[in-house]
A and B are shown apart, each in its own frame.
Chain A
Amino acid sequence: MTETQFKNMKDLPSKHLLGTGTSLCAGCGGLEALHEIYDILGAKSVFVNAAGCMTLLAVYPFTPFRGSWLYTAMASAPAGAQGIRDALDILLTKGRIAAGEDLETVVLTGDGSAYGMGLSATSGAIERGLDFLYICYDNEGYGNTGQQSSGATPHGARTSTSRGSSGYPGHKKDLFSIWVAHRPTYVATVVGAEPLDLARKIEQAKKLRGPRLILALAPCPTGWDFDPSETAEIGKLAVRTGVWPLKEYRDGKVVHSKIPQRRLPVEDYLKRQGRFAHLFHPQRDEVLLQEIQTKIDIYWANVEG
């Protein structure tokens, strides 16, 4: 990572921009990340939202945002960003608005839209080189409708549409690589529980132009079944067990911003969450646990080379 104003935790903003008292669940890991992101991104932004949990941030007549907001639909938030960005550029070019009135165009969606329904619109926006920042809060399921499995649900997790003894039979889609395959300006994974790493990545993203993704793991007490007080702990464990690699893509290269020394076994992460309880009770599902661990080991073996 290049030079940063965020050298240690003391450098993080002490004033917070996003308002409180929203209708989101207690302990929402997505909101935790959004608070940290917004503090650095700033209010000179317009958030273009797709249907998901965060749609309920702005409920008439209240909004926690100091900047602007446009709700679109589940599939087309990047197209909304395209329309706003293009219109602002036209207005700036023609001198109808001053340069100081310009805004950062930000797409804000959950994984349901980012990994699934919105993927066509996203791919189009990247291929056109749209100057926008995409923030995905990834709670690994259709959280707002009660945690049904999505394209982001990890293998073996129990969801409200995969309640059997083996949980979700599919595998979490690799959205990071899907973005990277488009050769965008910037892609990074973050988690609210690692605020310094997050701050540096938002700082980077803010300096760049073009399509940029911030993919935030969003531990979800409601959907993942853990106590809201444990959100930060679960987020830290996701990094320390290697489940959620912190990395960024820039200039054609993927770099890991935090390689966990002495990775913890994945079950330290899994056993804290009710959605994986069936892997441990009534008896341990050694086969599935090993399968999950092996996949993580192979990932990191490739990274550490």
Chain B
Amino acid sequence: MPLILHGLPPIHWALAGAGIAAVTLTLLFVANRRLGISTSFEDLCSFALAAPYFQRPAVISGRPWRLPFAAGLVAGGFLSAVLGGGWSPTWALGMFDRVVALGPAGKLTWMFTGGLFIGFGTRLAGGCTSGHGVFGMSNFEWPSFLTTASFMAAGIVTTQLVYRVVFG
């Protein structure tokens, strides 16, 4: 199945997994940092919100590495588009366009709602696919197995509901 981005063929899963492991291990071995991405949402919040939750040391002290890393993620996506056929703003959303078929306003509402669940859920769980799924499970941490099982299960149920029941 091609990617939405320029219909490119995805790279092999083993190569992608090796790339993710290489970055995760380099972050730890060189910089003594534990991979984790959803905390950068709190980093961004900490610039605008004075609540003690956002001003706690774990957030403030991690900003100098997490924010450059997050900026790199944006740059990586940009570079991928440029090298893969050119960068241009797009609304294309693959099977969502064919099956759910919402216009721009509906799409933005759908995405904002999904984002709300992501922001609230990852921070309640203490991490996301990177901190729990990749690092936590690799380090045999029990909370990470629990969290990963939970978000995989909820993702499966939600997609099955959307694509096999409601819009099936």
Partners in one complex: no
A contact set with B: CB distance below 8 Å? none
